[in-house]
Amino acid sequence: SGRLSGKKALITAAGAGIGRATALAFANAGAQVLATDIDAQALASLAAEHASITTQPLDVTRADDIDALVNASGPFDVLFNCAGFVHAGTILDTDETGWRRSFTINVDSMFHLCKAVLPGMLERGKGSIINMSSVASSVKGVPNRFAYSTTKAAVIGLTRSIAADFVARGVRCNAICPGTVKTPSLGDRVRALGGDEAANWQSFIARQPMGRLGEPEEIAALALYLASDESAFTTGTIHVVDGGWSN
């Protein structure tokens, strides 16, 4: 049987990129997956790819919608908080709106989702929460990622606190810190830079010591491990998967 057979998983931002690759990896490992995203069209194409994936639109900035979804569809064995927003610039380029938006999407969302799923996990004495951070966080200072890195460092604090509070009650909580991964939103950021697109891709690749970007499936493999009972002795830890970028 599969590495996740018998488990029910909730994933945010599952329509594209790392979240989508993870939904497919979880389903292929035998999990029942509830894949959520704000993009209903992306969800429809994902649901068509695997019989064990059901989908529901969810904007992670809407706390009431989160509670309603978990009340209707929980309890869950696994929560993968994947949704995140990249604000570009230094502190001098960051206005109050961009700063608040970064916290709303990247941190407040995880507060609400973790709080919503935890009671169901504690009741059954088991659960694995996986939070998407980044190497751009407390792990490494990255230029022009001021608001983003601040929120992703907050994700690490949130993760370790939850892990510490519930370590004796069967619930684990870990964070994933990817380096640069080839996803649709990275493509958007590359095009937003303007000028020569090929040269812009090269600039992202050039900062990777391995000479290539990560693939979403390489992050999904780590999420699968953290979701499964293979990682039962692991909680409160920060898992860097970055092709050696932060080394």
Residues binding ligand NAD (CB under 6 A): 12-13, 15-19, 37-39, 42, 58-61, 82-84, 86, 105, 132, 134, 178, 180-181, 183-186
**CA-CA-CA-CA torsion sign (218, 219, 222, 223):** negative
Which is nearer to ligand NAD, 5 or 144 (by Cβ)? 144
Nearest residue to ligand NAD on Cβ basis: 84
Nearest to 232 by CA among 76, 78, 80, 110: 78
Nearest approach, Cβ of 139 to ligand NAD (angstroms)?
11
Active site residue 225: no
Provide the total of helices (H) and of strands (E) in the chain, helices listed first. 9, 7
Q: How far apart are the first and last CA of the chain?
A: 37
**Catalytic choice (26, 76, 85, 148):** 148
Q: Give the residue with the Cβ less far from ligand NAD, 84 or 127.
A: 84
To ligand NAD, the closest distance from the beta carbon of 148 in angstroms equals: 7
Least Cβ distance, residue 21 to ligand NAD (angstroms): 8
Instruction: Look up residue 92 and give its two tokens.
Output: 């001098």
Which two three-digit tokens encode residue 214?
A: 């990560």
CA 150, CA 138: separation in Å to the nearest integer?
8
Nearer to ligand NAD, 5 or 202 (CB): 202
Closest CA to 134 of 164, 94, 102, 95: 102
When the beta carbons of 48 and 232 are compared against ligand NAD, the nearer one is 48
Active-site residues: which are they?
148
